[in-house]
Structure 1
């Protein structure tokens, strides 16, 4: 198997091998994206070579070490890819053709901490919000909420009716509590990037009022989860909303394509409600995937031609509209055809974007802040922690494990 990979990673001069964890995108690359590139670049063959997501990071690191990695590499955001760069495995991309189409904010997930070096080209992000069942809302005479008070009122009405689960979310796998709920509603409390950067610099603490208020809000939402929440998986929550048994679903935009396939399901979407009418809105627009170039690629000239195309309007348009729920990070104007995706992308204009509060730098301690947030937010939703206690637990871990990481 290793020998086969080695042959693939050192393919003949006219062939580029692209590594990725996006197994589900294989058909798209082979039948749409690669042929689109090939029309303008005859003679450059590309092989899309995905690895299972759970095995990708360790496999990639091992194969970089043995010299058997392909020419182009799909990059995870932040620390995973920064580790590859720090080990000398990825080329610097600053000033390369195609990179001019990305603003500084889009580069953040694939830069050195001092923002002086970029090692992966941004491709796409995911956006968070809430899906709602249109038939249920119409039946109960409800409107998509815009404020926290309106959201709680809507959930109260659904719970009082008794026919539907107000909020389809479980805590068995824990990650959804953080990634699709807490870090989605939180930016409206800690003012997005302002609060996130303040945590990194040490000017803010999770025990500050804004962060405690976000945990308190999450605690309020726990009253509307299904009775089986503590044993309910991510898949269970998907099925609960898809079947019409739940009215609202905390969504990451990657879920759109799943629900689009459910016959008879009519759903809309609303952004994380602001604290009060007239408040500025913040959304979670989190970098998901980039593309880097193997520093030891034997075919860098063609690799950079492909990278330039990845930064083009053509690629951004195809990718955004064919990989539903993944939004181009380039500054090209894209006409999003999926109605839910279009509405979510428009939030970028109406609201200020932020990323997951722990994603940059703060995950580097032991235990990982990511894992701590999973446990704490699950405990909040399961009724085991108050907002104040949750904030204290996270801050205590941050103070003990992450002090040296602050600048």
Structure 2
């Protein structure tokens, strides 16, 4: 009887343990994360998710990406149907602002750590008045120029700091003839605006001061601050190599990574790909200032954030996850696993990648701003962002003067945007 009693008690204990374990597993909350960054799936599975789940027992994460070109439409369909995930990857500005205005994204002002982000960092995911933030900023990309260090050493060129030094370097490379001075084409248009006009422009319109003055109608696109970058851009044409008008974005990448071009007008998103493809040492320099001693500005453009589905049934768990996204631990993992995508947190991140670190050094040297056309100014027709593509291409190709391009853009903006009138 005694043996049977002990055996019965032991079995009962095992049964209770199994039931308890099952209950614990049943209590786990799974958060579904919607994103367009399908290339990031391995990083989430191997690095980000294990780190979060280790410190947050009871909450599981599932990263569920959609191809970038399909993301907006697919996400809207899921939100309308009530089948969207708990966490939403937020593109900057109007697409996400519309989701918030429709009640699809919850405000994140009260998420611990959000107050540590600057107004510029939050600008892509805040209301126009800046009072409500609806996604936790994750990363930005920084503009500048990537250069072939071996080519510069061979030709005795130092990274230029002023425009005079910049064009002297281009002329020296051209005269030598070994390298195309600068790899950028105008066929796909967006590069001329993004890596051209928006890259060098902040030094002319003084970063955030000029950008906000344009939004408020205090400056016009016909003012010197906005026309002069086009005049400088027009001077690039002789240094872009034969056939640049038919040159695609991929062509430009290949010309540089194969060692045939000395300079590449860049965004930091190129870091990983260039590290894998180039067999030479690379460095970064930032848009040259007009004269030595001038304050410098860089385009440190907000790129991605994470928000909460306002109708999520797992709001408490989602808020814990977003608080972790706002932490230095997340920033360190994300920035090092995706070199060239930089944390927007105020806390400095120790980066392992040398080229990414050179881009990040721009924040210490220069003041940060975002692309001038992305907030508010591209909501109407004609769309200022798309018009800036065409204008940048035209002035480089020589089919439109900088003054004429600026006048056309200002007229288009004033046709629908009251402060510009």
TM-score by length of 1: 0.95
CA drift of 1:100 comes to: 2.9
Give the stretch that moved more between structures: 244-253 or 389-398: 389-398
CA drift of 1:263 comes to: 4.8
Which of 186, 203, 206 is equivalent to 1:188? 203
Q: For 1:397, what is the secondary structure of its paired residue?
A: helix
TM-score by length of 2: 0.92
Distance 1:47 1:79 in 2: 26
CA drift of 1:63 comes to: 1.5
CA drift of 1:226 comes to: 2.1
Larger radius of gyration: 2
- Residue 133 (structure 1) aligns with: 148
Alpha carbons 2:120, 2:369 under 8 Å: kept? no
Give the stretch that moved more between structures: 90-99 or 270-279: 90-99
Matched, 1:77 2:92: yes
Which of 64, 80, 83 is equivalent to 1:49? 64
Distance 1:349 1:163 in 2: 34
Which of 150, 154, 158 is equivalent to 2:169? 154
Distance 1:203 1:101 in 2: 30
Matched, 1:332 2:347: yes
Gaps of 5+ in 2: 1-25
- Residue 268 (structure 1) aligns with: 283
Q: Encode CA deviations 1:266-302: one digit per residue, 9 max, x unaligned.
A: 1111011111111000000000000010000111111
- Residue 226 (structure 2) aligns with: 211
Distance 1:166 1:118 in 2: 43
CA drift of 1:342 comes to: 1.1
Distance 2:284 2:365 in 1: 15
Q: For 1:212, what is the secondary structure of its paired residue?
A: helix
Q: For 1:364, what is the secondary structure of its paired residue?
A: coil
Q: For 1:206, what is the secondary structure of its paired residue?
A: coil
Which of 308, 316, 320 is equivalent to 1:293? 308
CA drift of 1:43 comes to: 2.2
Alpha carbons 1:256, 1:324 under 8 Å: kept? yes
Distance 1:59 1:378 in 2: 33
Q: Encode CA deviations 1:30-63: one digit per residue, 9 max, x unaligned.
A: 1100000011112211110111111111211121
Structure 1 residue ranges (4+ consecutive) displaced by more than 4 angstroms after TM superposition:
none
Distance 2:192 2:417 in 1: 22
Distance 1:136 1:98 in 2: 44
CA drift of 1:12 comes to: 9.1
CA drift of 1:180 comes to: 1.3
CA drift of 1:403 comes to: 2.4
Which of 384, 387, 405 is equivalent to 1:372? 387
Number of residues paired by the alignment?
396
CA drift of 1:13 comes to: 6.4
Alpha carbons 1:98, 1:307 under 8 Å: kept? no
Which of 99, 121, 128 is equivalent to 1:113? 128
Which of 406, 414, 417 is equivalent to 1:399? 414
Q: Encode CA deviations 1:133-155: one digit per residue, 9 max, x unaligned.
A: 11111111111100011000000
Q: Encode CA deviations 1:123-178: one digit per residue, 9 max, x unaligned.
A: 00000000111111111111110001100000011111122111100111111111
Distance 1:340 1:276 in 2: 26
Which of 311, 318, 327 is equivalent to 1:312? 327
Gaps of 5+ in 1: 1-10
Q: For 1:115, what is the secondary structure of its paired residue?
A: coil
Q: For 2:266, what is the secondary structure of its paired residue?
A: strand
Distance 1:254 1:280 in 2: 25
Q: For 2:236, what is the secondary structure of its paired residue?
A: helix
